[in-house]
Amino acid sequence: MSSDNSDLKAYISKNVGSFFAKASAGICTAQNIPLFNRQDHFHINVVENNRTVQANIQAYLVDYPQGKKSLFLRGVNPNVKFIKDISVPAFCDKVIKVAKQFQQDNGLAGVYLSEQLGGWHALSNRAEVADYLAEKYLKKDKEREFSLDIVDGRRISRMYEV
C-alpha cells in the first residue's frame, strides 16, 4: 500500500500489540477483550512509514461457503487524522486489493464485506469509508445470507462478495 507521500504496510496480527493498536487508531471496540479472544478474529494493522498505526481492519476467517474458509472484513477504520490526509476511495480499493491477495496466498474461497446495520455500523465507524464501500461494493447481486455473532447480541446477517 502507498499513499501520495508515504509507505503503508498491512500487518496481519493476533497479538496484544494489535489490541493496543486499535486504541491508537481510535477504534470503538478497542477495549473489547472477548472480541480479541475469539479464535476466528484478527486484525490487519495499516502502518505508515514503518512507524505509526494509521488504520485497523477487523477481520475474520469464516466458514463460507460451507466447508471452506473465507476472509470477512467487518471494519475498515483509518484513524481520524489519517482519513483527512488520504483519498478514501484509493485507500479502500487498496484494502480490497490486499484482501484479495491474502485470499489467493492462503487458498481461501472468497473475500466478503459486512452489511451496514443502521446506527451500529458493522462495516466501519468512519462515515466516509462506509459510504464509499457501500456505493462501490455492497451490491444486491453480491449479497449473501450469513450469520455471525459479534458482541453484546449484535449479529451480522448479510455479507457482500468482493
Tens of pLDDT along 9-52? 998 887 666 666 656 655 555 556 666 678 898 888 899 999 98
pLDDT value of position 121: 55
With bands split at pLDDT 50, 70 and 90, how would you rate the model's confidence at 2?
very low
In the 8-state DSSP scheme, what is residue 140?
A: G
The DSSP string of 65-84 is: STTSEEEEEEEEEE-HHHHH
Task: Check residues 127 and 105 and name the one with the higher pLDDT.
Answer: 105
Q: Report residue 89 as a C-alpha cell.
A: 476511495
Tens of pLDDT along 107-155? 999 999 998 765 555 555 688 888 899 999 999 999 999 999 877 777 8
Topology of 8-161 in CATH?
Aminopeptidase (3.40.630)
Rounded Cα distance between 19 and 98, Å, is: 21
Place of cell 462501490: 136
Instruction: Report which listed range, 35-49, 66-80, 98-112, is most confident.
Output: 98-112
Phi, then psi, of 152 in degrees rounded to 5: 50, 45
Phi, then psi, of 87 in degrees rounded to 5: -85, 110
pTM of the predicted protein model: 0.84
- Name residue 74's amino acid: R
pLDDT value of position 39: 84
pLDDT value of position 159: 95
pLDDT value of position 126: 80
With bands split at pLDDT 50, 70 and 90, how would you rate the model's confidence at 80?
confident
pLDDT > 90? residue 82: yes
pLDDT value of position 127: 83
Domain boundaries, the chain: 8-161
Least confident of 15-29, 60-74, 92-106, 148-162: 15-29
